[in-house]
Chains A and B, each alone.
Chain A
Amino acid sequence: MTNHTAIAASTGPALEFKPKSSGLIPRGLTLSAVIIIIAMLAVILLNVLHGGLGTISWEFLSKPPEHGMEAGGIFPAIFGTVFLVLLMVLTGVPVGVLTAVYLHEYTSPTSRTTRIIRTAINNLAGVPSIVFGLFGLGFFIGFIGHGIDTTLLGAEKPVWGQPAIIWAALTLALLTLPVVIVSTEEALRAIPRELKDASYALGATKLQTIIRIIIPQALPGIFTGAILAISRGAGEVAPIMFTGAAYYLPYLPKALNDQFMELGYHVYVMSTQSPDIEKTKPILYGTVLVLLVLTFLLNFVAILIRSKIRSRRISV
């Protein structure tokens, strides 16, 4: 210490350092940002709980809407939401995983093609959800569905060329694809090269290595992608309003080309189309609460499965 001062003094005029501030201002600033966020979340949750908790009953959860949605329950919407989200995960996650595997295992990360594909994926994540809805209507229903009807079935009335749960699920899958791809790629990147080398050195092909080593190792990351996709996809209204969600249906969807009711869309319908907003308000709150809880539940199940995989597979 004394040496240090001595050197400083010997090489020039004395230096006067400014005293440091206590750091209270940046700390206070960042803390207040956190408080604002927490408070907002608390207000939303408390408001929903306060308004909706009274409506929740077994009747509400198990019965279809009655009297122009002013009474009855929301069972068809719960059923439709779960069905929709499962279809979305089952169609979207495999495509996302395959895309990530292609990008990470079959192309060089610095190549032009890879960069273009990656940019495209990032742009996909930035597209407004209503655009996905319109795309789903035009592409899945107008082009694919209609194409199946006219060329394969020769049907006179639309069978697939109409709004249906499969088209809504595919539209949502497309919307959530980027998060699946990104989290899968992260998981792939974390796999040590030594493991792949060991597999190749035993005579395994690339495909065998992908199936037996890489995918099992990346599974938790893939589930993280699925969890994020559920969080993003469940409750999206815009992509499904043209592609399959119904205002009111007296029956549950039984086939992939049936329409369906969905909680988020039900909230939208009740809050904008209801003849008597005041009367439907408790149902509206109840529906929002159910939507929130359902999304948490679906996430929770996925997290449970992921931790099960993690504990079975001991990490490196």
Chain B
Amino acid sequence: MFDAELEANKLEAASRVHPPRQAGRVKIEIHDLNFFYGQSQALHQVSLNIEENRVTAFIGPSGCGKSTFLRALNRMNETIPGTRREGTVKLDGVDIYREIRDVSTVRTRVGMVFQKSNPFPKSIFDNVAYGLRVNGIKDKQIIGEAVEDTLKRAFLWDEVKDKLNNSAYMLSGGQQQRLCIARALAVRPEVLLMDEPASALDPISTAKIEDLIAELKRQYTIVIVTHNMQQAARISDYTAFFYEGYMVEFGETPKIFTKPDKKQTEDYVTGRFG
């Protein structure tokens, strides 16, 4: 069973055509990141470089700190009271915690999509326009064009163009999640953080999200947390394995899934634990 899965993962990773990889430009540089919820430490000394226009996946068992780490990359952790952070996160060489004063700037440059699709109880149009409006864009024409452009980018336009004023809750679960992706793209971020974006979706919707991620990679740097090992193998260029608050191993995805350096990583990707 486990071996079959390992084989499947190997095949998955090997069958993908990888572009000749030059060392990509570093988009986000994390150095010695520690994170605390009250007294308990959720992340220990995590250092990692995330390359531009690549998909980087974080895998690991529940509670390993991968989501916490993801949320540290756009300062979303600051919305939780009683938390503390040490270390630096640099976006294009600029420290997002110390050198960028306005947290809104960080979050518009580093967008986020959540595990459970969470559209606002508003119309489809207003959902996509929300990010523009809260960032001070009032011109109706600009907003209208941006909404259309963004929905096209999320491959949702054809499905919703006739019902932009309907409630977002009328959409199916998969469409809602793609709407959430569109909503995040509307403010033209450079990085997109995705926290298990397909974990609550059926296989067909999941495939659509994965196709979308492959497409978005051309323009955005994507960081994705996933529980689904095949998914990580399918869509990511790099994979980081987290365990109990430590980043155990980081490397090119095929390597992590076929010949990881650490025993722990191998045990996890082959399904022997976790």
Determine the chain A residues whose CB is within 8 A of the CB of B120 once the complex forms.
Answer: 195, 198-199, 213
The one of A194, A201, A313 in contact with B107, judged by C-beta atoms closer than 8 angstroms, is A201
> Given contacts A194-B118, A314-B169, are A200 and B79 in contact (CB under 8 A)?
yes
Q: Is B229 an interface residue (CB 8 A)?
A: no
Complex CA–CA separation, A194 to B169 (angstroms)? 15
Q: Which residue of B lies closest to A205 (CB)?
A: B104
> Given contacts A108-B81, A194-B118, A203-B104, are A212 and B169 in contact (CB under 8 A)?
no
Is A201 within 8 A of B134, CB to CB?
A: no
The one of A192, A201, A212, A316 in contact with B112, judged by C-beta atoms closer than 8 angstroms, is A201
Q: Is A153 an interface residue (CB 8 A)?
A: no
Q: How far is the CB of A300 from chain B (nearest CB, A)?
A: 26
Encode contact with B along A199-228: 1 for CB under 8 Å, 0 otherwise.
Answer: 111111100100011001100000000000
Complex CA–CA separation, A204 to B76 (angstroms)? 12
Q: Is A30 an interface residue (CB 8 A)?
A: no
Q: How far is the CB of B209 from chain A (nearest CB, A)?
A: 17
Complex CA–CA separation, A198 to B181 (angstroms)? 11
> Given contacts A314-B169, A316-B169, are A203 and B118 in contact (CB under 8 A)?
no
Contact residues, B157-188 vs A (CB, 8 A): 167, 169-170, 180, 183-184, 187
Q: Which residue of B lies closest to A208 (CB)?
A: B134
Is B169 within 8 A of A201, CB to CB?
A: no
Complex CA–CA separation, A197 to B120 (angstroms)? 11
Q: Is A5 an interface residue (CB 8 A)?
A: no
Determine the chain A residues whose CB is within 8 A of the CB of B112 once the complex forms.
Answer: 197, 201
Chain A binding site: helix, strand, loop or mixed by DSSP? Answer: helix
Q: Is A315 an interface residue (CB 8 A)?
A: yes
Complex CA–CA separation, A114 to B207 (angstroms)? 47
Is A212 within 8 A of B76, CB to CB?
A: no
Determine the chain B residues whose CB is within 8 A of the CB of A196 once the complex forms.
Answer: 79
Q: Which residue of A lies closest to B118 (CB)?
A: A194
Complex CA–CA separation, A216 to B135 (angstroms)? 19
> Given contacts A202-B187, A313-B121, are A194 and B116 in contact (CB under 8 A)?
yes
The one of B119, B121, B134, B184 in contact with A217, judged by C-beta atoms closer than 8 angstroms, is B121
Q: How far is the CB of A313 from chain B (nearest CB, A)?
A: 5
Encode contact with A along B38-49: 1 for CB under 8 Å, 0 otherwise.
Answer: 000000000000
Determine the chain B residues whose CB is within 8 A of the CB of A203 once the complex forms.
Answer: 103-105, 107-108, 131, 134-135, 187
Determine the chain A residues whose CB is within 8 A of the CB of B135 once the complex forms.
Answer: 202-203
Complex CA–CA separation, A197 to B70 (angstroms)? 14
Size class of the A contact interface (CB-based, 8 Å): 20 to 34
Q: Is B65 an interface residue (CB 8 A)?
A: no
Complex CA–CA separation, A216 to B82 (angstroms)? 28
Complex CA–CA separation, A142 to B17 (angstroms)? 83
> Given contacts A212-B130, A314-B167, A316-B169, are A200 and B121 in contact (CB under 8 A)?
no
Complex CA–CA separation, A194 to B121 (angstroms)? 12
Q: Is B114 an interface residue (CB 8 A)?
A: yes
Q: Is B111 an interface residue (CB 8 A)?
A: yes
Is B134 within 8 A of A199, CB to CB?
A: yes
Q: Is B9 an interface residue (CB 8 A)?
A: no
Q: How far is the CB of B147 from chain A (nearest CB, A)?
A: 14
Contact residues, A25-45 vs B (CB, 8 A): none
Complex CA–CA separation, A208 to B170 (angstroms)? 25
Complex CA–CA separation, A199 to B184 (angstroms)? 10
The one of B114, B121, B170, B187 in contact with A316, judged by C-beta atoms closer than 8 angstroms, is B121
> Given contacts A194-B114, A197-B79, A316-B169, are A202 and B121 in contact (CB under 8 A)?
no
Complex CA–CA separation, A150 to B88 (angstroms)? 60
Q: Is B53 an interface residue (CB 8 A)?
A: no
Determine the chain B residues whose CB is within 8 A of the CB of A202 once the complex forms.
Answer: 107-108, 111, 130-131, 134-135, 183-184, 187
Determine the chain B residues whose CB is within 8 A of the CB of A194 once the complex forms.
Answer: 114, 116, 118
Is B130 within 8 A of A201, CB to CB?
A: no
Determine the chain A residues whose CB is within 8 A of the CB of B130 once the complex forms.
Answer: 199, 202, 204, 212
Is A200 within 8 A of B118, CB to CB?
A: no
Encode contact with A along B126-137: 1 for CB under 8 Å, 0 otherwise.
Answer: 000011011100
Complex CA–CA separation, A194 to B103 (angstroms)? 18
Q: Which residue of B lies closest to A206 (CB)?
A: B79
Is B104 within 8 A of A204, CB to CB?
A: yes
Complex CA–CA separation, A192 to B119 (angstroms)? 11
Q: Which residue of A lies closest to B76 (CB)?
A: A201
Determine the chain A residues whose CB is within 8 A of the CB of B114 once the complex forms.
Answer: 194, 197-198, 201
Determine the chain A residues whose CB is within 8 A of the CB of B107 once the complex forms.
Answer: 200-203
Determine the chain A residues whose CB is within 8 A of the CB of B76 once the complex forms.
Answer: 197, 200-201
Determine the chain A residues whose CB is within 8 A of the CB of B226 once the complex forms.
Answer: none
Q: Which residue of A lies closest to B126 (CB)?
A: A212
Q: Is B74 an interface residue (CB 8 A)?
A: yes
Complex CA–CA separation, A217 to B82 (angstroms)? 26
16 pairs from A and B in contact (CB 8 Å cutoff) = A195-B120, A197-B76, A197-B114, A197-B118, A200-B107, A201-B112, A202-B134, A202-B135, A202-B183, A203-B104, A203-B105, A203-B108, A204-B131, A205-B104, A212-B134, A313-B121
Told that A201-B114, A204-B131, A314-B169 touch, could you supply 6 new A-B pairs with CB distance under 8 A? A198-B118, A198-B180, A203-B131, A203-B134, A204-B130, A208-B134
The chain A residues found within 8 Å of chain B, CB to CB, are 108, 192, 194-205, 208, 212-213, 216-217, 313-316
Q: Which 7 A-B pairs have the closest CB atoms?
A: A202-B131, A194-B118, A203-B104, A204-B134, A201-B112, A203-B108, A203-B107
